[in-house]
Amino acid sequence: MNNLSSMKEKEKLFFECIISKFCLLKLISIIFILSICVSNRLYANKIDNKSLLEIWNNSSLQDTTRLQALENAIWENYLFSNPDSGFYYANLLQSFALDRDNDKYVANGLNIKGISYSLKDEHMRALAYYDSSLIIRRLIKDSVGVAASLNNIGISYKKIGDYSNAIISYTKCLQLQESINNQKGIAEVLNNIANLYRLKKEYKKALDYHELGLEICKRNNDKKGIAISLNNIGAIFRNQKDYSNAKKHIIESLKICDELNYKTGIAEALNNLGLTFEQLDKLDSAQLFYQKGLVTYDEMKDKEGICKSLLNISGIYLLDNGVSVSITKAEEALALALEINSFEGIKGATEILHKAYKLEKKYYLALKMIELFHSYDSEKHNKEIIRQNYKYEYEKKALADSIKAVEERKVKDARLIAEKVENKRQTYFLLGGLILALLFGGFIFNRFKVTIRQKGIIIEKNQVIDEALNKLEIKNKEIVDSINYAKRIQSAILPTEELMGEYLNQSFILYKPKDIVAGDFYWLESKNNKVLFAVADCTGHGVPGAMISVVCNSALNRAVREFDLSVPGEILTKTRELVIEEFEKSDGEVKDGMDIALCSLNGNILKYSGANNPLWIVRKGAAKVEEIKAHKQGIGLVETPKLFPTIETQLNEGDTIYIFSDGYVDQFGGERGKKFMARRFRELLISIQDYTMEQQKTMINNAFDSWKGNLEQVDDVCVIGMRV
């Protein structure tokens, strides 16, 4: 059924460009256009802007007048409120223009179809129409239209994450806008380029482009453009944590939008202010701006904006201990995101609900949120992009073939006219013309058959690819389901970052599994006014490591909760007994287990016990790392088991401690492909002591990624840092 639908879509674009262009198919074209006109007359009864459609339906008027009226009606009444209706009328516009040999409106119709798909987030389909429109606009030397097509192509590439092709399209668009001195177009594409750099976190470049765009808007007194540029510049300052400049620019943008009654700009500025105050930890102010933004989006009936605002409001309630209200708002946002099929909305809502449900100990619902998100995950998205890409390549080729045939026909028509003028007095003119017409008809018919055959080959290849993809999907489904289920189990046993932050105020967790699931895990428990926290490294990684991590995590919990232990050495000794006891149930001897660094913090008193994993302390102002060595014995079956000792130390304000698995220091990379090593890790930690813990996390992560380069990650990585 899917293949049949795909074939119909491909045939639709192919025939709409060929049917009415060739004399051989003229009768079919007339029937096709008449049927659409009848449908249009039935549909037109439902629309509001009767005057434009009355002009369109008035056959006594010039074709260009009628086409312009229909195009205006599409833009003003249908395209943005109902993209499917926009597509319907664009199809009518294009068919009528094709029959009248009006290439400009053919291109405009294709462009509108692309926008209709873009509004529905079907960007690969949109690209096919944008490219087709671009080909025609180049042929008729419509520079303004070419620039618009290039800009739309850049936007679509950005939406699917292909930033390389996006910047190429934007740059070509910018060069063309400059050549025709279209100041408004230049400012628009500069903003688009800036937003692309902002997504890539290249804030300096983004700011440069936005400021260029702002300068052009000011020169041309383009107030709407000024407001958009100011809001974007404010967002970049916010990304750079320059909150004073961020507020200044966003508030200035908001004032201009209020003057213009530009609702979209007002809502975006309010949302931006909310994000700024949230980052400043002024949650009441942030909530106020989010609420105002929600009201504005609601007035516009902008469902995507409403969803975004609800998620922002829900996030504030979650931060401010309003878990039940947070859940209500996030559930509302999720319902809306599912309705409009917004991947970002579904992602944001499921993340918030997962955290909120866990805080309320509704673990089943928390798991359901992970399950829901994974049904919309990037693997499925990427597969759809591959499928859409085949459609896009076919549609682009089909239209290019038809345009080439049209141009060949025009050349032959020109030659025929020249022969008529030159031989108008010759008695054999009619015969010669007839022969030429027959030859032309034969050529077109032959070309038509070749194109149909090529189309059949492409469709057949697509069917083969689809079948291969489906077989591969079926073959791997059980494996993927198993791994994803293991990930859900593992996610459920890990403490949330919010919980870690509540008990370890200035801290970070860097957690980088090698595969979907990990053998490393981090752990936290509160007991007798003490905070117990640990980093554990179980045998192996991937699914086997994750399974062992569940056993070891359970043993840690039992040692504390069931056996009422709170001293790190005693906890590890009991954990080892419980792990061995669990593995002894197996028929064979199991030597798997874990290495771990376990700490207990009570005020400034830190107690530590480690199984092969050490504790590092960087005292305030110190130039080297102080190491408390681990006991050289793992949690698992050993020949001569010994009790794990507990080491106590006094911490002072400004001291920083680190516990970690060996995945970080064992990573291969650098110029010579060597291990990172503990020495280099110590030097890194000393060099970043002047930074906040969140900044340290970023720096440690960046150093790891830079060292690894293009090499494979060799093991799971887990690092916890905490400052007194």
**CATH code where residue 267 lies:** 1.25.40.10
| Cβ–Cβ under 8 Å, residues 55 and 61 | yes
DSSP string, 167-179: HHHHHHHHHHHHH
* Percent above pLDDT 70 for the chain: 76
| 430 and 543 together in one domain | no
Looking at the fold, whether 435 and 511 belong to one and the same domain comes out as no
The pLDDT score that the predictor gives to residue 392 is: 42
Whether 335 is in a domain gets the answer: no
Domain assignment present for residue 572? The answer is yes
| 535 shares a domain with 428 | no
If asked whether residues 528 and 664 sit together in one domain, one would say yes
Q: Which residue has the higher pLDDT, 453 or 539?
A: 539
Q: Which of 422, 439, 456 is the last residue of a domain?
A: 439
Comparing 124-128, 351-355, 462-466, 576-580, which segment has the lowest mean pLDDT?
462-466
In a domain, 609, yes or no: yes
Based on the fold, state whether residues 431 and 520 are members of the same structural domain.
no
Local structure of residue 75 (DSSP, 8 states): I
Task: Give the pLDDT mean for 8-19.
Answer: 40
Mean pLDDT of 40-52: 48
416 and 543 both lie in a single domain:
no
The predicted-structure confidence for 440-462, as pLDDT tens digits, reads as follows 555 555 555 555 565 565 566 55
683-722: b (≥16 Cβ within 10 Å) or e = ebbeebbeeebeebbeebbebbeebbeeeebebbbbbbbb
**Does some domain include residue 613?**
yes
User: What local confidence, expressed as pLDDT, does residue 605 receive?
Assistant: 94
Q: Are residues 566 and 656 in the same domain?
A: yes
- Give the number of domains in the chain: 3
Domain boundary among 255, 287, 319: 287
3-state secondary structure of 653: coil
Interval 170-188 mean pLDDT: 88
- 672-710 pLDDT, tens digit per residue, is 778 899 999 999 999 999 999 999 999 999 999 989 888
Total length of the chain: 724
Residue 350 lies in a domain: no
Q: Are residues 528 and 673 in the same domain?
A: yes
Show the beta-strand stretches assigned E in 558-646.
594-602, 605-611, 615-618, 626-628
Q: 662 — phi, psi (to 5°)?
A: -85, 0
Q: Which range among 39-43, 142-146, 453-457, 597-601 has the greatest average pLDDT?
A: 597-601
Would you say residue 472 has pLDDT above 80? no
Q: Which residue has the higher pLDDT, 77 or 277?
A: 277
CATH number at residue 634: 3.60.40.10
357 or 164: whose pLDDT is higher?
A: 357
178 confidence band (pLDDT: 50, 70, 90): confident
Residue 421 has pLDDT above 50, yes or no: no
Q: How far is CA 260 from CA 249, 256, 572, in A?
A: 17, 6, 67
pLDDT for the residue 606: 95
What is the band of 336 on the pLDDT scale with cuts at 50, 70, 90? confident
Answer for the pair 678, 661: CB distance below 8 angstroms, yes or no: no
Quick one: 434 exposed, middle or buried, by C-beta within 10 A (0-12, 13-18, 19+)? exposed
CA–centroid distance for 226 within its chain: 27
Do 521 and 417 share a structural domain?
no
Residue 617 lies in a domain: yes
Q: Which of 287, 314, 347 is the last residue of a domain?
A: 287
Percent of the chain with pLDDT over 90: 33
Closest CA to 592 of 643, 548, 541: 548
Question: For residue 60, is it within any domain?
Answer: no
- Report the alpha-carbon distance of residue 68 to residue 261 in Å, rounded: 28
Provide the residue range defining the domain that includes 430: 410-439
Of the chain, the end-to-end C-alpha distance in Å amounts to 63
Structure confidence at residue 389 (pLDDT):
44
Based on the fold, state whether residues 710 and 644 are members of the same structural domain.
Answer: yes
In this structure, the answer to whether residues 208 and 281 fall within a common structural domain is: yes
Pairing of strands 594-602, 615-618: unpaired
Tell me if 306 is assigned to some domain.
no
Q: For residue 301, what pLDDT is reported? A: 83
Is 686 found in the same domain as 589?
Answer: yes
